[in-house]
Structure 1
Amino acid sequence: MAFGFRKASITEQSRVWEILEQAIIRRRADGSNQWQDGYPNPAVVQKDIEAGIGFVLTDNDLIAGYAAVLINDEPTYADIEGEWLTNEDFVVVHRVAIAQDHLGKGLSGKMLEYIEAYAADNNIYSVKVDTNFDNIAMMKIFEKRGYIYCGEVYFRGSPRRAYEKVLPRNTEIR
């Protein structure tokens, strides 16, 4: 398998939405309330891609995963109930989803690896993420990749677990 990670193009919007829709259905089947309120939706995907923050994980030429990757752009993170490890520039990751036919291959972790490299390539040494309290699989992935639980943040009135990973400086991450 030859993996890649790049910005999504607007022509790929429907495939990205298909992947997110599959994730929404999986979250519901797991008994989660995450992503069960009409968010994310196709308009969010379009906005991500148009803003240049929508990224795809590719397996050869197939889109296998999606994430929104932002730099210093999460106002909610200023109001953490807890404490971040750093107060410097950071990369934020939202809307991580893997295609149904690519599950079980460790691709969420692979995508985080690419995102960490993207951060370091931009001279940013902190990646901040959050997830629902009932998204056990994502919490395990964060912990496996060395993310530290820092406290709670709130999105649309719901508490979320917030994590941060401080990246090494001047070293190769890949």
Structure 2
Amino acid sequence: MEYVFRKATLNDLPQIWVILQKAILRRKEDGSNQWQDGYPNPTVIENDIAKGAGFVMADGDTITGYCAILINDEPAYAEIKGKWLTDGDFVVFHRVAISEDYLGKGLSGKMLNFIEDFAQRNNIHSVKADTNFDNGAMKHVFEKAGYIYCGEVFFRGSSRLAFEKEL
């Protein structure tokens, strides 16, 4: 299949929100506390789109995944308990979710490839991200994609695992 990675539009919001709601439920069913506090929500996604940071992966007209991508825009990363691999410019991604209909097809890895391509097109050679301690699925995706554990960062009152990949 030929997947397209593009900026999200407000017209995509209904499909994105369905994908995120199912991902929130999967986190809960997996016993994770991640995304169990009303975040993310449609307002967060609308803000991503308004800032030009919301991206979708699509199979034709069907959205297969969503994420937010930002450049040098994660204040929490300045205070890491540990050490990043690099100190320069970086791309950071958040709110990664794959459609339930497309699980098990390697799309998380494909999305990371798109994110890394985005970084390189912007002449940035570092991608940083984080996840909950109890999100085994995302930790596996990071490991498989060659991300290195760098320490802990703190968001909304809780500690999260921080990862980086040099490109």
Please report the TM-score for the alignment, with normalisation by the length of structure 1.
0.95
- For 2:123, the equivalent position in structure 1 comes to 123
After superposition, where does 1:15-30 map in structure 2 within 5 Å? 15-30=15-30
Offset at 1:14?
A: 1.1
Count matched residues.
167
Q: Match for 2:12: what amino acid?
A: E
1:11-160 paired onto structure 2 within 5 Å: 11-160=11-160
The offset of 1:59, in angstroms, is: 1.6
* 1:130 counterpart SS class: strand
Q: How far does residue 62 in structure 1 lie from its aligned partner after superposition? A: 1.2
Where 1:105 maps in the other structure, the secondary structure is coil
RMSD: 0.6
Report deviation, 1:137: 1.0
Deviation for aligned residue 1:4: 1.0
- CA offsets, 1:111-145, max 9 Å, x none? 00000000000000000000000111111110111
* Match of residue 172 from structure 1: none
Displacement after TM superposition at 1:61 (Å):
2.6
**Cα deviation digits, residues 45-89 of structure 1 (max 9, x gap):** 111011100000112331000000000000000000000000010
**Which runs of 5 or more residues in structure 1 are unaligned?**
168-174
CA–CA distance in structure 1, aligned partners of residues 140 and 32 of structure 2: 16
Displacement over 4 Å in runs of 4+: none
Question: Matched residues in 2 for 1:164 and 1:149: separation?
Answer: 7
AA partner of residue 60 (structure 1): G
Alignment-mate amino acid for residue 32 of structure 1: S
Structure-2 separation of matches of 1:134 and 1:113? 24
- The TM-score normalised by the length of structure 2 is 0.99
3-state DSSP of counterpart to 1:32? coil
In 2, Cα distance between equivalents of 1:45 and 1:14: 10
